[in-house]
Amino acid sequence: MPDTLLARMAGVFAPISTPFAWNEDVDFDALAFNMERYAASGLLGYLALGSNGENRSLTEEEKLSVLRSIVERKSKDQVVMAGATYDAQRDTERFLRQAADLGSDFGLVLSPGYFRKQMTDEVLFRYFSTLADSSPLPLLLYNAPGFCGVTLSPALVGRLAEHPNIAGMKDSAASGIENFLRFESESFHVLAGSANFLFAAMMGGSAGGTVSLANSFPELAVELFRLGKARDEQNGVVLQERVTRINQAISGPYGPSGVKAAMTLAGFKGGLPRRPLLPLTREQTEIMRCMLVAEGLIS
């Protein structure tokens, strides 16, 4: 495994989708099939139990089983972030200990959202900093107001970036990753949370990204990262426009259900989403298939 913090974060992470069978049980055979392909894809690593993993739809036992399956099937040089999404701090603390025991490398922590009106900067500073004090894993902050209704302020992130056990953040907000790139340092790295702005974020200093497009087309996401790393504006801008067009057609209107449909069309085992999410209709799937054919991604 890479031995520096930057080496463990500078790349593309796939936020692994949790495939469900027809009866909505976790399809561990499908997950194993996908992981075998991802292990040889050029991905730096994985986010287990994120929004694309339908974290909030899993039981605690399922969460740990999915995380175990991902850790056991990664290649030796790949990195695993374990997503922690709880409203009670003691539950987050317990999960981080379990994730460490299973062999995770980082914990990615989302803000509690149920009592969002009470989630002031001071409350959130205490939450994240005291989690980091006790966590056996280095933590990443997860700025995703679309999921929890809480936006991390630049002032809060700046304070938390100084904590020795907070290694960085994933930013999926529409407010602009440039608000956080000024905190990039040897001990704190900012990851883009969408393929839609991965190249621009890297040109601004981001270390890489955790992007849902990597579930279905990991090589495409990795190529965009490589152009960002090389600061190749001529080719990077062109590929970013293409990636954005593709990504918006996959996850933009459909979320995890669209990601799963694209995975299946690309030869992975996307499986079904768990209710109340619904799979794409035949018509929606055919529209996506035609788009992917036109983009030259499938035949």
Strands 79-84 and 106-110: parallel
Radius of gyration of the chain (CA): 18
**Distance separating alpha carbons of residues 54 and 272, to the nearest angstrom:** 11
Catalytic residue among 63, 170, 229, 260: 170
**Distance separating alpha carbons of residues 206 and 166, to the nearest angstrom:** 16
Q: Cα–Cα distances in Å, from 39 out to 13, 34, 67, 87?
A: 11, 9, 15, 33
Average pLDDT over residues 186-205: 97
What is the pLDDT at residue 132?
98
Cβ–Cβ under 8 Å, residues 171 and 190: yes
**Distance separating alpha carbons of residues 126 and 107, to the nearest angstrom:** 17
**Distance separating alpha carbons of residues 50 and 91, to the nearest angstrom:** 16
Question: Could you report the per-residue pLDDT of 74-90, keeping only the tens digit for each?
Answer: 999 999 999 999 999 99
What one-character-per-residue DSSP string does 76-140 give? TT-EEEEEE--SSHHHHHHHHHHHHHHT-SEEEEEPP-TTGGG--HHHHHHHHHHHHHH-SS-EE
Catalytic annotation present for 170: yes
Could you tell me the two tokens for 212? Answer: 């849902």
Question: Could you report the per-residue pLDDT of 223-274, keeping only the tens digit for each?
Answer: 999 999 999 999 999 999 999 999 999 998 899 999 999 999 999 999 999 9
**Distance separating alpha carbons of residues 11 and 191, to the nearest angstrom:** 9
Angle (nearest 5°) at CA 178 between 132 and 49: 45
Question: Could you report the per-residue pLDDT of 126-166, keeping only the tens digit for each?
Answer: 999 999 999 999 999 999 999 999 999 999 999 999 999 99
HSE-CB at 146 with a 13 A cutoff on CA atoms is: 10
pLDDT band, residue 175 (cuts 50/70/90):
confident
Question: Could you report the per-residue pLDDT of 25-35, keeping only the tens digit for each?
Answer: 999 999 999 99
Q: Is residue 2 scored above 90 in pLDDT?
A: no
Q: What is the pTM of this model?
A: 0.96
**Under the phi-then-psi rule, with left for phi > 0, alpha for psi from -120 to 50, and beta for the rest, what region is 275?**
beta
Cβ–Cβ under 8 Å, residues 81 and 210: yes
- Residue 105 identity: D
Q: Which among 178, 177, 143, 136 is positioned nearest to 160, based on CA atoms?
A: 143
